[in-house]
C-alpha cells in the first residue's frame, strides 16, 4: 500500500485547522500543509502567541505547539501545496445558499467547486481528493466530473471522509473518535487502495474497528443524517419542555428518566434555549431540500419540523421574558450571560443568543452582554448579519462588556444563553444587590442553582422546570 508523506488541506477553519493539527501530531512522518485564501486567518494560525490562534478549543494550543513548524504548516500558498500533496482534503465552508435556486435551503457548493477546479488545474500527478466538508449526497459525482475533464491525464480517487467533531471538544473528539467514516469506490482496486491509504493515517491513533469503510454515497448521506438525528433529539426534548411548563412535570427529571433506557441513551437530551452552531440548521435544511427535490415531500416535512421546533423554542424563551417583565421590555436592560452557541468555543454562528436578542430588541429592550470568549465586534457582526435594523440602531440597543458584574449592574433581568461553567459560581448575592428589583433570572440552559438564587431573592425561570 502506498505510504502517504504529504497532505494538503484546503480550508483552515474550525474543521481544517484542528483536524490537520491532530493528523500532524499523530503522524510526524507526514508533512501537512493547511492552506486558506483568508490571509488574516493564516497569520493567526502562525502567530507565536498561541492565544491568538483563530479558533479557541481546549487542548488545541498544545497540539499546535507540538506539530507546527515540525510537520504542520499554515500558508496561503494553495497551488504549491496542492501540487506537492498525495492527498488533498477539501475542508471549505458549505453554507446555506443565499441566492437563486434553493435559496435558504440548499448547500452553496461554489467553494467546493472552486477547489475541485483548482486541484484539476494544478495537479501534475495522481492524487486522492478527500471531501472533508459536509456535502449533499452525490456531490462526489460533480467533483469527479470536474476532475476527470481536465485533460492533463492525471488520475484522481475521490473519497468522502466527513468530520464528526463538535466544537468545544474538537481535540478530544479527534483523539478519541467514536468512528471515522471513509467512503470510496470499493469496487475498483484503485478505489480500495485510496481508502486503505486514508485508513492507515487514522490508524496511527485509532483502533482499526472504529474506521468504517462504505460506498461514497452512504458516507456523504451519513454525515447529514447524523446531524439530523442529533438535532432531532434536542428539538424533541425542547418540545417537551414547553409541555412540562404547563403540567408541572420537570424536564430534567423527564430527560433523566427516558435517557436511562439504554435504547434511548442519556446524551443530547439537555433542554436549552435552542440549538445553534454552523451546521445543524444548515445540514437539515439541505436534507429537506434534497428530499423535496426528489419528490419525497413527507420525508422533507418530517425533518423540517426539527428546525421549526428550534425556532419556536428561541421565540418562546424571548416571549417568556417579555411576558414576565409585565409585558414590556421597552428601554429595560436585559443582560445576557453568554453569546457563543455553546460553551468552550468562541464560535457564534447561528447562536440562539442573537435570535433571542433580535426578538427582544424588536420590543425595544437594551441588551448588554458578557461572554468570556466572544468579542464585541463579533456580536455586532452577528446582529448586523440578521439585518433587522440599522447598524446605528444595533449600536444603540446592544452593548458588550468585559466584566460580568458590570454587565449585570442595574439590569431588570439576566438571561443565561450559553452554559459557560463560570456563570454557576458567580457571586450571585453581589449581582442581586446591584440589580433592579424584582430581580429576574431566565436560565436558558438550566445550569444555575435555583434554590440558592431563590434564597437570595431572585425570581428564577428555567426551561421546562417551573413547577
Ligand atoms: P470555516 O468557515 O470555519 O472554514 C472554512 C475555510 O475555508 C475558511 O477559512 C475559508 O476562507 C476557506 N476557503 C473557502 N474557499 C477556499 C478556497 N477556494 N481556497 C482556500 N480556502 C478556502 O468552516 P468550518 O466550520 O471549518 O466547516 C467546514 C466544513 O466542515 C463545512 O462543510 C461544515 O459543514 C463541516 N463541518 C463543520 C464542523 C464544525 O464544527 N464547524 C464539524 C463537522 C463538519
Ligand atoms: C455538531 C455535532 O455534534 C458534531 O458531531 C458535528 O460534527 C457538527 O455538529 C458539525 O457537523 O458541525 P457542534 O454544532 O459543534 O457539533 O456542537 P454540539 O455539541 O452538537 O451542539 C450543537 C448545539 O446544540 C449547541 O447550541 C448546543 O448547546 C445544543 N445542544 C446540544 C443542546 O441544546 N442540547 C444538547 O443536549 C446538546
Do 247 and 466 form a contact (C-beta atoms < 8 A)? no
Output the CA–CA distances (angstroms, integers) from residue 251 to 266, 317, 444, in the order listed.
Answer: 13, 15, 13
Is 223 in the active site?
A: yes
Contacts of 431-437 with C-beta under 8 Å, sequence gap 24+, read 431/405, 432/456, 432/457, 432/458, 434/405, 434/408, 434/409, 434/410, 435/408, 435/409, 435/410, 435/411, 436/333, 436/410, 436/411, 436/412
- CA-nearest residue for atom 16, ligand 2, is 166
pLDDT digits (tens, 9 = 90+) for 113-134: 999 999 999 999 999 999 999 9
Query: Residue 108: pLDDT above 80?
Result: yes
Q: For ligand 1, which residues put their CB under 6 angstroms from it?
A: 10-16, 35-38, 41, 78, 91-94, 111, 114-115, 133-134, 163, 165, 167, 278-279
pLDDT of res. 273: 98
Do 455 and 375 form a contact (C-beta atoms < 8 A)? no
* Residue of 103, 87, 95 whose CA lies nearest to 33: 87
Q: Which ligand is nearest to the CA of 340?
A: 2
Query: Residue 150: pLDDT above 80?
Result: no
Cell digits of residue 401: 462588556
pLDDT of res. 212: 98
pLDDT of res. 467: 58
Residue % of the chain over a pLDDT of 90: 96
Q: Which atom of ligand 1 is nearest to the CA of 16?
A: 26
Q: Which residues, at least 6 apart from 168, have a Cβ–Cβ distance to it below 8 Å?
A: 57, 58, 342, 343, 344, 345
pLDDT of res. 224: 94
- CA-nearest residue for atom 38, ligand 1, is 15
Q: How far is the CA of 277 from the centre of ligand 2 (A)?
A: 7
Do 115 and 42 form a contact (C-beta atoms < 8 A)? no
Q: Residue with C-alpha cell 421590555? A: 329
Is 279 in the active site?
A: yes
**C-alpha to C-alpha distance for 132 and 315, rounded to whole angstroms:** 34
Mean pLDDT of 303-312: 98
Question: Got the DSSP string for 183-196?
Answer: EE-TTSHHHHHHHH
Q: Which atom of ligand 1 is nearest to the CA of 38?
A: 11
Is 163 in the active site?
A: yes
pLDDT of res. 466: 75
Q: How far is the CA of 114 from the centre of ligand 1 (A)?
A: 13
Mean pLDDT of 243-258: 96
pLDDT digits (tens, 9 = 90+) for 35-63: 999 999 999 999 999 999 999 899 999 99
* Predicted confidence band of residue 1 (pLDDT cuts 50, 70, 90): low
pLDDT digits (tens, 9 = 90+) for 65-96: 999 999 999 999 999 999 999 999 999 999 99
**C-alpha to C-alpha distance for 251 and 47, rounded to whole angstroms:** 45
* Helix, strand, coil fractions of the chain, as percent rounded to 5: 45, 15, 40
- CA-nearest residue for atom 17, ligand 2, is 166
Mean pLDDT of 425-452: 98
User: Mean of the per-residue pLDDT values for the chain?
Assistant: 96
* Segments of 17-175 assigned E as strands: 31-35, 72-75, 87-90, 127-131, 156-160
Query: Does the model's pTM come out above 0.85?
Result: yes
pLDDT digits (tens, 9 = 90+) for 199-235: 999 999 999 999 999 999 999 999 999 999 999 999 9
The Cβ of residue 45 has, within 10 Å, a number of other Cβ atoms equal to: 24
Instruction: Give the three-class secondary structure for 211.
Output: strand
pLDDT of res. 152: 78
Instruction: Give the three-class secondary structure for 337.
Output: strand
**C-alpha to C-alpha distance for 107 and 101, rounded to whole angstroms:** 11
Question: Got the DSSP string for 86-116?
Answer: SEEEE----PBP-SSTTTTTSB--HHHHHHH
* Predicted confidence band of residue 349 (pLDDT cuts 50, 70, 90): very high
**C-alpha to C-alpha distance for 435 and 431, rounded to whole angstroms:** 6
Do 226 and 178 form a contact (C-beta atoms < 8 A)? no
- Burial pattern 374-406, b for ≥16 Cβ within 10 A else e, equals beeebbeebbeeeeeeeeeebeebbebbeebee
Mean pLDDT of 18-36: 98
Q: Residue with C-alpha cell 445550569? A: 447
pLDDT of res. 2: 73
Pocket test for ligand 2, best of 19, 107, 166 (most atoms within 8 A of CB): 166
pLDDT digits (tens, 9 = 90+) for 372-418: 999 999 999 999 999 999 999 999 999 999 999 999 999 999 999 99
pLDDT of res. 149: 85
Query: Residue 263: pLDDT above 80?
Result: yes
Q: Residue with C-alpha cell 499523530? A: 26
Output the CA–CA distances (angstroms, integers) from residue 364 to 369, 394, 436, 446, 460, in the order listed.
Answer: 16, 11, 18, 26, 23
Q: Which residues, at least 6 apart from 437, have a Cβ–Cβ distance to it below 8 Å?
A: 457
Do 432 and 439 form a contact (C-beta atoms < 8 A)? yes
pLDDT of res. 245: 95
Amino acid at each position: 500500500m502506498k505510504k502517504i508523506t504529504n497532505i494538503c488541506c484546503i480550508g483552515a477553519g474550525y474543521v481544517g485547522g484542528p483536524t490537520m493539527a491532530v493528523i500532524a501530531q499523530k503522524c510526524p512522518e507526514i508533512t501537512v500543509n493547511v492552506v486558506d485564501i483568508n490571509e488574516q486567518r493564516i497569520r493567526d494560525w502562525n502567530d507565536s502567541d498561541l492565544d491568538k490562534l483563530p479558533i479557541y478549543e481546549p487542548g488545541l494550543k498544545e497540539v499546535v505547539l507540538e506539530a507546527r513548524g515540525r510537520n504542520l504548516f499554515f500558508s496561503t500558498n494553495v497551488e504549491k501545496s496542492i501540487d506537492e500533496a498525495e492527498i488533498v482534503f477539501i475542508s471549505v465552508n458549505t453554507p446555506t445558499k443565499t441566492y437563486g435556486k434553493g435559496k435558504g435551503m440548499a448547500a452553496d457548493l461554489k467553494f467546493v467547486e472552486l477547489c475541485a477546479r483548482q486541484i484539476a488545474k494544478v495537479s501534475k500527478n495522481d492524487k486522492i481528493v478527500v471531501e472533508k466538508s459536509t456535502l449533499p449526497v452525490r456531490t462526489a459525482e460533480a467533483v469527479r466530473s470536474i476532475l476527470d475533464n481536465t485533460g492533463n491525464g492525471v488520475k484522481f480517487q475521490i473519497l468522502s471522509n466527513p468530520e464528526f467533531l463538535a466544537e468545544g471538544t474538537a481535540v478530544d473528539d479527534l483523539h478519541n473518535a467514536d468512528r471515522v467514516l471513509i467512503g470510496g469506490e470499493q469496487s475498483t482496486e484503485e478505489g480500495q487502495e485510496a481508502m486503505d491509504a486514508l485508513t492507515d493515517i487514522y490508524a496511527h491513533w485509532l483502533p482499526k474497528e472504529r474506521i468504517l469503510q462504505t460506498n461514497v454515497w452512504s458516507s456523504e448521506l451519513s454525515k447529514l443524517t447524523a446531524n439530523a438525528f442529533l438535532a432531532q433529539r434536542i428539538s424533541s426534548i425542547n418540545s417537551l419542555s414547553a409541555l412540562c411548563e404547563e403540567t408541572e412535570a420537570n424536564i430534567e427529571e423527564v430527560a433523566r428518566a427516558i435517557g436511562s433506557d439504554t435504547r434511548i441513551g442519556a446524551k443530547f437530551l439537555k433542554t436549552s434555549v435552542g440549538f445553534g452552531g454552523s451546521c445543524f440548521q444548515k445540514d437539515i435544511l439541505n436534507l429537506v431540500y434534497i428530499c423535496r427535490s426528489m419528490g419525497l415531500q413527507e420525508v422533507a416535512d418530517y425533518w423540517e419540523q426539527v428546525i421549526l421546533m428550534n425556532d419556536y423554542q428561541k421565540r418562546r424563551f424571548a416571549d417568556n421574558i417579555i411576558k414576565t417583565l409585565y409585558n414590556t421590555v421597552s428601554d429595560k436592560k436585559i443582560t445576557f450571560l453568554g453569546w457563543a452557541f455553546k460553551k468552550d468555543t468562541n464560535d457564534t454562528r447561528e447562536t440562539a443568543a442573537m435570535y433571542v436578542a433580535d426578538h427582544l430588541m424588536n420590543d425595544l429592550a437594551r441588551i448588554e452582554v458578557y461572554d468570556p470568549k466572544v468579542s464585541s465586534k463579533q456580536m455586532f457582526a452577528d446582529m448586523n448579519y440578521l439585518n433587522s435594523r440599522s447598524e446605528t440602531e444595533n449600536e444603540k440597543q446592544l452593548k458588550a462588556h468585559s466584566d460580568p458584574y458590570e454587565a449585570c449592574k442595574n439590569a431588570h433581568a439576566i438571561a443565561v444563553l450559553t452554559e459557560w461553567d463560570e456563570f454557576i459560581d458567580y457571586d450571585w448575592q453581589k449581582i442581586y444587590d446591584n440589580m433592579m428589583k424584582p430581580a429576574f433570572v431566565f436560565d436558558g440552559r438550566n445550569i444555575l442553582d435555583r434554590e440558592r438564587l431563590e434564597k437570595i431573592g431572585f425570581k428564577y425561570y428555567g426551561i421546562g422546570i417551573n413547577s
